[in-house]
Amino acid sequence: AQTVTQSQPEMSVQEAETVTLSCTYDTSESDYYLFWYKQPPSRQMILVIRQEAYKQQNATENRFSVNFQKAAKSFSLKISDSQLGDAAMYFCAYKGDFGNEKLTFGTGTRLTIIP
């Protein structure tokens, strides 16, 4: 079974600075997808960024980028120029290859932005 580990329960960063959230996973599959979801206090999970395992290039979405290390099974999220609206729980999630539709989530990292 796949597992996702987020070892940082809480992180904080000064507004406008950069922060990196860590995620590791365990799988025996060669093709899979990785995601970072944001969950603000309203509880609505919002997709931040996604990465296909077969792609070597790291995904980027505006201020959000990932560092995907397939051999190390590591998938960290970097948030640049942090903004107050980035404060939320961040969950790393894994999805297996076609036919295995469910997401497996980590336990989350609570990100606080310091004004």
Partner 1 sequence: GAGVSQSPRYKVAKRGQDVALRCDPISGHVSLFWYQQALGQGPEFLTYFQNEAQLDKSGLPSDRFFAERPEGSVSTLKIQRTQQEDSAVYLCASSNRLRTGIVYEQYFGPGTRLTVT
Which residues of this chain interact with partner 1, rule CB under 8 A?
A: 4, 33, 37, 42-47, 50, 52, 91, 93, 98, 101-108
Local structure of 46: helix, strand or coil:
strand
- Under 8 Å between Cβ of 68 and 75: yes
Q: In the complex with partner 1, which residue's Cβ is closer, 14 or 107?
A: 107
Q: In the complex with partner 1, which residue's Cβ is closer, 16 or 47?
A: 47
The least distance separating partner 1 from the CB of residue 18, rounded to whole angstroms, comes to: 24
Measure CA 2 to chain center: 16
Q: In the complex with partner 1, which residue's Cβ is closer, 18 or 112?
A: 112
The least distance separating partner 1 from the CB of residue 5, rounded to whole angstroms, comes to: 11
- Under 8 Å between Cβ of 49 and 64: yes
The least distance separating partner 1 from the CB of residue 112, rounded to whole angstroms, comes to: 16
Q: In the complex with partner 1, which residue's Cβ is closer, 4 or 87?
A: 4
The least distance separating partner 1 from the CB of residue 114, rounded to whole angstroms, comes to: 22
List, as one string, the DSSP characters of 52-113: ETT--SPPEETTEEEEEETTTTEEEEEE-S--GGG-EEEEEEEE-STT---EEE---EEEEE
